[in-house]
């Protein structure tokens, strides 16, 4: 049986050779057909609706920033612009959707804010709620709040913001279209939490820290929307003393393996998840064969993983062993200018 071609997208920085969002195809152990799918400025983070109908991207336009949405042609991968919502100042760094693509969240690193939008038929409406964080941390990069992630809990009862600048994971409840703080967890001072993923059981979550290069394991109480930390484990070798900044974190759909990106060490750390306790144990580091791996993604079959090396303008493709979690490189130096975020169309 012939392997189905998978369509993926790459969000980029356009301060170099990039023109915007790129698409590519994955089949027969190879990434091919890399091309511009949509021309826009700094689409650094993208997300795709569960039904593959729409792609949402952060966008910069002149002195403004915000969210843009596109209709996806599932056959060709082409993107057709359908809406944009902008506000004054720096653009967001992260965007996420609920399962029905009716609610959109963005996180703004420079402003230290999260914004909530409604979306109808892929058209993003003006922001209904915006929350600005306050505070600072001990690290030189923590002079003010730097919100790096905003997403939904598995039951979509609450929303979550992860703020690198103030070492906090903040849970919000949406009441009458307004984000109201429910709880907050303080991580270790100077850790700089960046991104979060939930375990499929909804009882555990994992946070990648950028400044301390750790994965933090959390227990989550869905009844009261509170996190409790149960572990912090390093994502880099103990003897690595050069600059490293943690980047992305992802989990396999069976909840058995966590993958964490290291910029500087230029690797992906692989961890096994204890299915009784939620605690992590280290498996291996795998080189990304490039410079500054900003993000990576498991393909829908989870037989592959694609890493994006921002500073070397390249993608690296791995075969993933679904039983051991380990990665084996099968293609490297796939040219995409200044890649940041990688996403695939979902298997329906």
Task: Give the integer Cα–Cα distance in Å for 309 and 151.
Answer: 24
Q: What is the mean pLDDT of residues 200-215?
A: 98
Task: Compute the Cα dihedral for 245, 255, 56, 64 and give only its sign.
Answer: negative
| pLDDT 10s digits, 135-148 | 999 999 999 999 99
Task: Single out the residue of 165, 171, 173 nearest to residue 191, CA to CA.
Answer: 165
| pLDDT 10s digits, 312-336 | 999 999 999 999 999 999 999 999 9
- Tell whether the model's pLDDT for residue 2 goes beyond 70: no
CB-count burial class (<10 Å; 0-12, 13-18, 19+) for 169:
buried
Give the pLDDT of residue 3.
64
| pLDDT 10s digits, 54-101 | 999 999 999 999 999 999 998 888 999 999 999 999 999 999 999 999
Rounded to the nearest 10°, the torsion over CA 73, 75, 333, 289 is 80
Q: What is the mean pLDDT of residues 3-31?
A: 94
Task: Give the integer Cα–Cα distance in Å for 6 and 305.
Answer: 12
Range from 2-6, 47-51, 85-89, 150-154 carrying the lowest mean pLDDT: 2-6
Residue in the block written with tokens 């109808």: 120
Q: Output phi, psi for 250, to 5 deg.
A: -140, 160
Q: What is the mean pLDDT of residues 238-252?
A: 97
pLDDT above 70: percentage of residues in the chain: 99
| pLDDT 10s digits, 251-297 | 999 999 999 999 999 999 999 999 999 999 999 999 999 999 999 99
């Amino acid at each position: 049986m012939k392997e189905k071609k998978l369509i993926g997208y790459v969000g980029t920085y356009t301060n170099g050779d990039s023109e915007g969002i790129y698409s590519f195809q994955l089949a027969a152990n190879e990434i091919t057909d890399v091309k511009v799918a949509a021309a826009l400025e700094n689409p650094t983070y993208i997300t795709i609706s569960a039904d593959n109908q729409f792609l949402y991207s952060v966008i910069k336009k002149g002195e403004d920033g915000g969210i843009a949405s596109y209709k996806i042609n599932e056959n060709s991968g082409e993107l057709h612009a359908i809406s944009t919502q902008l506000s004054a100042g720096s653009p967001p760094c992260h965007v996420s959707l609920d399962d029905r693509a009716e609610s959109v969240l963005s996180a703004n690193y420079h402003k230290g804010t999260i914004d909530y939008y409604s979306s109808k038929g892929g058209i993003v409406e003006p922001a209904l709620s915006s929350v600005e964080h306050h505070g600072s941390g001990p690290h030189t990069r923590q002079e003010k709040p730097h919100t790096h992630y905003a997403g939904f809990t598995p039951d979509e009862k609450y929303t979550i913001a992860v703020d690198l600048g103030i070492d906090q994971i903040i849970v919000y409840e949406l009441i009458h279209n307004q984000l109201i703080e429910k709880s907050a967890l303080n991580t270790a001072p100077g850790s700089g939490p960046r991104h979060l993923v939930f375990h499929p059981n909804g009882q555990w979550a994992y946070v990648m820290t950028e400044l301390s290069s750790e994965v933090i394991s959390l227990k989550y109480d869905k009844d009261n929307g509170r996190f409790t930390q149960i572990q912090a484990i390093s994502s880099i070798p103990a003897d690595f003393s050069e600059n490293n900044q943690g980047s992305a974190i992802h989990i396999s759909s069976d909840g058995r393996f966590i993958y964490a990106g290291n910029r500087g060490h230029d690797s992906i750390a692989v961890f096994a998840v204890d299915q009784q306790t939620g605690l992590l144990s280290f498996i291996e580091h795998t080189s990304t064969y490039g410079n500054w791996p900003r993000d990576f993604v498991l393909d829908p079959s989870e037989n592959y993983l694609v890493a994006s090396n921002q500073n070397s303008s390249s993608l690296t493709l791995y075969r993933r062993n679904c039983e051991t979690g380990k990665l084996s490189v099968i293609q490297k130096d796939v040219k995409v200018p200044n890649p940041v975020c990688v996403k695939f169309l979902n298997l329906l």
